[in-house]
């Protein structure tokens, strides 16, 4: 049987979001980048005048808020539609003010617990490719197929540096690499759901590989798993 629940974990710029989206499209599955759900909580808090520094208030909001991630409902470049209590906030969660505060919200244990419950609710329907940093370890440890994408810090920094240069940003590669190494330390050493390879996951080193190379490897893995 083709895996119904697929998780993809890995450090920043390892290729997990790109591969996850393309794989979901190929299979006709829902693509769910779990970071969007933390962004949703952040945006709703900001829009309601709730301070993101108020852990109790933000946690209460996360527990009460119904967040859904569904296939795209508009042809405007979105990869999915994000609903908060039924309201489409897909593009609101990409606002600069969310970029600057989502890391604070995502660090709250109560918020993470609430989001994990909602992520499991969505995954229960099956036919989903879920991407993040704690999916195969915490959210869906019993997933049908668990993948972990990785690459050297230098390769990941190069990818992110090229992305930022393409957007017109004047940034040095060395600066991007330093930020990448710092992010790796934070993700791997955090007390709650640290980034690590899930038990039973297939590790794919994407260093030097094209997107097509990685996607082909994943599809071959699925063919091997299909009796």
* pLDDT tens digit sequence for 172-216: 999 999 988 988 888 888 888 888 999 999 999 999 999 999 999
**By the 8 A CB rule, do 159 and 61 touch?**
no
Backbone angles phi, psi at 150, to 5 degrees: -140, 170
- For the four alpha carbons of 192, 194, 199 and 201, in that order, the dihedral sign comes to positive
Tell me if residue 182 falls in helix, strand or coil.
helix
CA dihedral angle for residue 80, residue 104, residue 193, residue 62, rounded to 10 degrees: -60
Q: Of all residues in the chain, what percent carry a pLDDT higher than 70?
A: 99
Q: How much is the pTM?
A: 0.91
Q: Of all residues in the chain, what percent carry a pLDDT higher than 90?
A: 80
More confidently predicted of 150 and 225: 150
Give the closest residue to 17 by CA, choosing from 163, 199, 115, 121: 163
In angstroms, the CA 48 to CA 192 distance is: 27
**By the 8 A CB rule, do 1 and 102 touch?**
no
Quick one: pLDDT band at residue 227, thresholds 50, 70, 90?
very low
DSSP state of 70: E
Mean pLDDT along residues 158-176 = 92
* Residue that has been written with the tokens 């908060």 in this structure: 84
Quick one: pLDDT band at residue 225, thresholds 50, 70, 90?
low
- Using the predicted structure, report yes or no on whether residue 167 has a pLDDT greater than 70: yes
* Residue that has been written with the tokens 């390892």 in this structure: 14
Close Cβ partners of 183 (under 8 Å, ≥ 6 residues apart): 11, 12
Q: Which fold has domain 5-210?
A: Rossmann fold (3.40.50)
In angstroms, the CA 206 to CA 226 distance is: 24
Tell me if residue 65 falls in helix, strand or coil.
coil
Mean pLDDT along residues 158-164 = 92
Mean pLDDT along residues 15-25 = 95
Per-residue pLDDT tens over the stretch 88-126 = 999 999 998 998 898 889 889 999 999 999 999 999 999
pLDDT of residue 182: 87
- Using the predicted structure, report yes or no on whether residue 139 has a pLDDT greater than 50: yes
* Residue that has been written with the tokens 């229960």 in this structure: 124
């Amino acid at each position: 049987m083709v895996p119904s629940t697929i998780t993809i974990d890995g450090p920043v710029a390892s290729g997990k979001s790109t591969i996850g989206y393309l794989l979901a499209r190929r299979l006709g599955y829902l693509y769910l980048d779990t970071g969007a759900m933390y962004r949703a909580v952040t945006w709703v808090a900001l829009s309601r005048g709730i301070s993101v520094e108020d852990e109790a208030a933000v946690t209460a909001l996360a527990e009460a808020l119904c967040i859904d991630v569904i296939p795209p409902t508009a042809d405007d470049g979105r990869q999915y539609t994000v609903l908060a209590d039924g309201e489409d906030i897909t593009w609101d969660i990409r606002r600069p003010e969310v970029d600057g505060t989502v890391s604070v919200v995502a660090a709250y244990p109560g918020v993470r617990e609430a989001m994990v419950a909602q992520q499991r609710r969505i995954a229960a329907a099956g036919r989903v490719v879920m991407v993040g940093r704690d999916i195969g370890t915490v959210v869906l440890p019993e997933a049908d197929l668990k993948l972990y994408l990785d690459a050297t810090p230098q390769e990941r920094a190069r990818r992110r540096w090229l992305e930022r240069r393409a957007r017109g940003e004047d940034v040095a590669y060395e600066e991007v690499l330093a930020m990448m190494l710092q992010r790796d330390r934070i993700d791997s050493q955090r007390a709650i759901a640290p980034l690590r390879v899930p038990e039973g996951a297939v590790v794919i080193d994407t260093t030097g590989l094209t997107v097509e190379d990685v996607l082909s490897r994943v599809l071959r893995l699925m063919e091997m798993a299909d009796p």
